[in-house]
Amino acid sequence: MNSTDDNTEPTTEPAESTEPTEPTEPTEPTGDTLGGDRPDPSTSASKDPSDWVTGDEPMTGPQRSYLDTLAHEAGETLSADLTKAEASEQIDRLQQETGRGQA
């Protein structure tokens, strides 16, 4: 007679549900929001880049990378020493030209 005496009980994993999940209804955002029809004019996100407090600082790494991509697609060469504000304006212009970043 073969028997094991390890005092363990067999375990069973619960089966995964195969029922489709219903989509959740979007909830009304609270607090600051992004991506709406019109950003709140009191936030810096909707200010003209020339009015930015840090607009005269050198462009950020992500701005530089995205501008490099956009300029390449548009067949343009841009100065690499743009300010944050200048980079933002060039990004807006090149997005219009290339169709990138359009919803």
pTM score of the predicted model: 0.52
pLDDT at 101: 78
Q: At what angle do helices 61-74 and 84-98 cross, to 10 degrees?
A: 30
pLDDT at 95: 93
SS3 68: helix
Question: pLDDT tens across 38-47, in order?
Answer: 445 555 556 6
Residue 3 has pLDDT above 90, yes or no: no
Q: Is 49 exposed, middle or buried (0-12, 13-18, 19+ CB in 10 A)?
A: middle
Q: What are 16's strand-pairing partners?
A: none
Question: pLDDT tens across 10-26, in order?
Answer: 555 555 555 555 655 55
